[in-house]
A = this chain, B = another copy of it.
Amino acid sequence: MQSIRIGTFALAALAGVLSCSGKKGPGATTGAGGTQLADLMKARNLGEADVVAALKTYQPTGRHDDYLLFGSGGHSGQVVVVGLPSMRILKYIAVFTPEPWQGYGYGAKGEQAVLDQGKRFGKDITWADTHHPALSETNGDYDGEVLFIGDKANARLAVIDLRDFSTKQIVTSELLASDHGAAFVTPNTDYVVETSQYPAPLGGEYADLKEYNDKYRGAAIFWKFDRAKKRLDPAQSFAIELPPYMQDLSDAGKLDSDGYVFFNSFNTERAYGGVLEGNVSLESGASKNDMDYLHVVNWKKAEEVAKAGKVETISGMRIIRLPTVIAEGILHFVPEPKSPHGVDVTPDGKLIAVGGKLDTHATVYEFAKIKSLIDAKKYEGKDPYGVPILPFKEAIKGQVELGLGPLHTVYDGKGFAYTSMFLDNAVAKWSINDLKLVQKLTTHYNIGHLTAAEGDTVSPDGNYLVAMNKWAIDRFAPVGPLLPQNFQLVELNGKDGQMELLYDLPIPLGEPHYAQIIKADKVKSLQVYAPGTDAETFEKAEHAVEGGKERIEKKADGVHVYMSAVRSHYTPDIIRVKKGDKVFLHVTNQEQTHDATHGFAINSYNINLSLEPGEHTDVEFVADRAGVFPMYCTEFCSALHLEMAGYFLVEP
C-alpha cells in the first residue's frame, strides 16, 4: 500500500539550509519537548518524497488555494469544485439534481423554474449524467464568468453563474436522445457545442433498429450564448445533422484553427447490439474498424448557412440537414485510429491530438494540412452518407507510441502533452515537437480524463495536472462496495523536471468525467447579494421585504406572507391559514454579513430554503394538511439558532 518513490530532497544539505531558514520559533534551539521531524517521519512511516508532497499540498488555516477545479459530478448530476494544491473539495454545486442544502428544488420558485426547464417530453428529469464542464472563454482563455455542463443521459446543458456558483438555466432539445461532446465552447463563447452520442431518430420519433442506417442520426447543436444575459439562447441556436456514428468528445479550434470544431467518433461500423437477436454486442460490433472518423466542422460556415435559412426545424431546433452540411462544405472527415475518445487542440491551435482507445498511439493532426486538403478538395473517398474523407497520412504531423488505452490529452504550454492511458494506468508525457514519449507516471487506477491547470486554453499554466481515475480499489479505507473515484494531483515539474505524484483525493459523491482548472483569482464571486435580490436575475425581487414592512395579507389568490429573516428570528413567526388555502411566502434574508445564511423549513411540507445574505425567495404551495407545523432555520446561524423558529398553523 505504501508508495515507493525516489527521495526528492537532499538530507546532507538540509541542516545548513534549515539553520538559515529564518523560521525559528520560541524554544527552537532547546530541543526539549518538541516533536522531531525525523521522529515524525519514522512514526508515520513517511519517506522524503512524502514529506515534499505533503508540504507542496498543505494549506495552513485560512490560506486560500491557487486554483479551482470544476469537475463534472457524473451521474450525481452535480458539479464538484476542488481547491488546488490542497485538493480539498470546496463545494458541490446543485445543477440537475434537486439538493436541499442549497434549497434547490425544495419550494423556492426561482430554482424550481430552472429545474423545470430540464423536463423532457413533459416529464420531470431529476438527475443527470454530467460529463464535461466548460468554463466560458474570452480569446481562448478562461474568463471566470460562467460554467457550462452537459447531461449525457438526457441531452441537456446547464449554465452556472460563477458570481454565486448557482445554476441559472437548463436547456434541452428533443432533437437529441443523448449527448457526450458537451459542453465545449468556442474561443469567445459564441457557441456551446453539444454532440449526440447514441444515434436515434431526430426529434424523438420511433423507428425500428432495422432502419438504423436510414432513420437514425447523430447531430451537433451549437447553442448560442448571450453573454450580456449570461444565458443560452435557443432561438439563436442551430444544429447540424450527422451520420449515425457515435460522436464522442469535441474541442473547438483556436487561434490558427479558430472557426472550426472537431468531434471524434466511434462505431462508424453502425453496430447496435442485439445479443439475444442474433447480433454481436455493441462493444464487439463497434470495435471492428481500424479507423473511425475525425469530424472537422467549419462552424462559422455553419452559422452563415443557418443565418441564410437553409435549415429545417425539428423539435423546435433549426437544423442544417446532412446533404446541405455536405454541399456547403461544413463537414469533412479524416480517418482516426481506433475508437477514439479525446480530440484535443494544442494551445497554439495548430495541432489536434487524438487518442484511439484501442490503438497505442496519440495521433497528431496538423490543422494547416487539413485546411489545405479541404481547400484543394483532396479526398480519398466519401463515407456512405457522402461526407468527403481527407487522406489520413497527408493530414497528420505524425504519431507517438504511448502504450495501451490512450484517452485524452492536455497541455502544459511548454511543449509537452499529457495523455491519459486507461489500460496502462498511467499518464504519458510526450513532446509535441518531436513526438517522443518522455515519461510515464503510474496512476491508481483506470485513469479516464485528465486535466491540467488552464491546460485546454491558449495559455496553459504548466504546473499541475489531475489524473481522474475511475477506480480506487484499495486506495482508501473501505466504505462499502461502491467506492469513490480517485483524483490524483500531479506536479508537472517535479524532481528533474519529471512528473511527480503529490496527493490522492477520493471523490465522495458522483463520478467526475472531465474537469477544468482555473486560476482562483479569475473567479469574482459575491460575498452577499444586494438587499432583496432575486438570485435568478440578480435584480431586486418584486416581492422583496424590507425590515419593518413585514406583513400577512389575505388576497383573492391566497395568503401572502411577507417575511424577513435575520439573526435570530423570522418576522412574522406565526402564520395562520385555513386548510386548502394557497400560501405565498415572500422571504428576504436581511443580512449583509458574509456567511450569514439562513434556512427556512416547514415540517412535513417538503419545503426547505437556503437564503443567502440579501437573497429573496418566493414559495407557493397549498396548505393541504391541517395541523401545527413547526418552521425553523436550518442553517446554524447564531447562538440562538435553535430559537429561530415559529409555527405554521393550518386550521381544519
| B627 & A206 in contact (Cβ 8 Å cutoff) | yes
Cβ < 8 Å to B, chain A residues 370-410: 405
Q: A244-266 CB contact bits vs B (8 Å, 1 = yes)? A: 00101000000000000000001
Q: A79-90 CB contact bits vs B (8 Å, 1 = yes)? A: 011010000111
| B595 & A206 in contact (Cβ 8 Å cutoff) | no
| B282 & A569 in contact (Cβ 8 Å cutoff) | yes
| A61 & B573 in contact (Cβ 8 Å cutoff) | no
State the interface size on chain A (CB cutoff 8 A).
220
Q: Which residue of B lies closest to A39 (CB)?
A: B17
**Nearest 4 A-B pairs (CB), nearest first?**
A7-B25, A15-B15, A165-B480, A100-B127
| A1 & B632 in contact (Cβ 8 Å cutoff) | no
Complex CA–CA separation, A612 to B422 (angstroms): 21
| A281 & B68 in contact (Cβ 8 Å cutoff) | no
Whether A358 contacts B14 in the complex (CB less than 8 A), given A51-B55, A177-B629, A509-B92, comes out as no
Complex CA–CA separation, A495 to B32 (angstroms): 10
| B38 & A21 in contact (Cβ 8 Å cutoff) | yes
| A478 & B81 in contact (Cβ 8 Å cutoff) | no
Q: Pick the most buried of A50, A274, A637, A642: most chain B CB atoms within 10 A of its CB.
A: A642
Q: Which residue of B lies closest to A594 (CB)?
A: B473
Q: A1-13 CB contact bits vs B (8 Å, 1 = yes)? A: 1110111111111
Whether A201 contacts B75 in the complex (CB less than 8 A), given A31-B12, A64-B477, comes out as no
Query: Which of A432-440, A453-461, A603-611 lines the interface with chain B?
Result: A603-611
| A90 & B484 in contact (Cβ 8 Å cutoff) | yes
| B61 & A3 in contact (Cβ 8 Å cutoff) | yes
| A56 & B44 in contact (Cβ 8 Å cutoff) | yes
User: Which residues of chain B have C-beta atoms less than 8 A from A101's C-beta?
Assistant: 73-76, 509-511
Complex CA–CA separation, A39 to B162 (angstroms): 36
| A281 & B471 in contact (Cβ 8 Å cutoff) | no
Q: Pick the most buried of A287, A478, A650: most chain B CB atoms within 10 A of its CB.
A: A478
| A2 & B60 in contact (Cβ 8 Å cutoff) | yes
29 contacts between A and B (CB under 8 A): A7-B26, A7-B28, A10-B28, A10-B34, A13-B34, A14-B15, A14-B18, A15-B15, A23-B41, A33-B495, A62-B504, A68-B479, A73-B101, A75-B608, A75-B610, A90-B508, A91-B482, A124-B606, A153-B632, A155-B603, A205-B627, A209-B574, A274-B573, A281-B643, A339-B643, A423-B639, A481-B526, A481-B528, A483-B595
Q: A119-135 CB contact bits vs B (8 Å, 1 = yes)? A: 01101111111000000
Q: A401-443 CB contact bits vs B (8 Å, 1 = yes)? A: 0000100000000000000001100000000000000000000
Cβ < 8 Å to B, chain A residues 451-494: 470-484, 488, 494
| A275 & B572 in contact (Cβ 8 Å cutoff) | yes
- Does chain B have a CB within 8 A of A54? yes
User: Which residues of chain B have C-beta atoms less than 8 A from A281's C-beta?
Assistant: 568-569, 571, 573, 643
User: Which residues of chain B have C-beta atoms less than 8 A from A606's C-beta?
Assistant: 123-127
Chain B nearest CB, measured from A169 CB (Å): 16
Q: Is the interface of A mostly helix, strand, loop or mixed?
A: loop
| B106 & A482 in contact (Cβ 8 Å cutoff) | no
User: Which residues of chain B have C-beta atoms less than 8 A from A30's C-beta?
Assistant: 10, 12
User: Which residues of chain B have C-beta atoms less than 8 A from A405's C-beta?
Assistant: 639
Cβ < 8 Å to B, chain A residues 149-164: 153-155, 162-164
| A27 & B10 in contact (Cβ 8 Å cutoff) | yes
- Does chain B have a CB within 8 A of A314? no
Extra 11 A-B pairs, beta carbons < 8 Å, given A76-B99, A166-B482, A273-B646 = A3-B62, A11-B24, A12-B30, A23-B48, A40-B56, A91-B482, A165-B482, A208-B651, A275-B573, A446-B636, A482-B597
Complex CA–CA separation, A574 to B278 (angstroms): 11
Q: A549-576 CB contact bits vs B (8 Å, 1 = yes)? A: 0111000000000000000110111100
Whether A647 contacts B504 in the complex (CB less than 8 A), given A201-B628, A481-B612, comes out as no
Q: Which residue of B lies closest to A480 (CB)?
A: B165
Q: Which residue of B lies closest to A248 (CB)?
A: B642
User: Which residues of chain B have C-beta atoms less than 8 A from A626's C-beta?
Assistant: 206
Complex CA–CA separation, A535 to B595 (angstroms): 40
Whether A506 contacts B89 in the complex (CB less than 8 A), given A274-B573, A528-B481, comes out as yes
- Does chain B have a CB within 8 A of A77? yes
| A422 & B62 in contact (Cβ 8 Å cutoff) | no
Q: Which residue of B lies closest to A40 (CB)?
A: B55
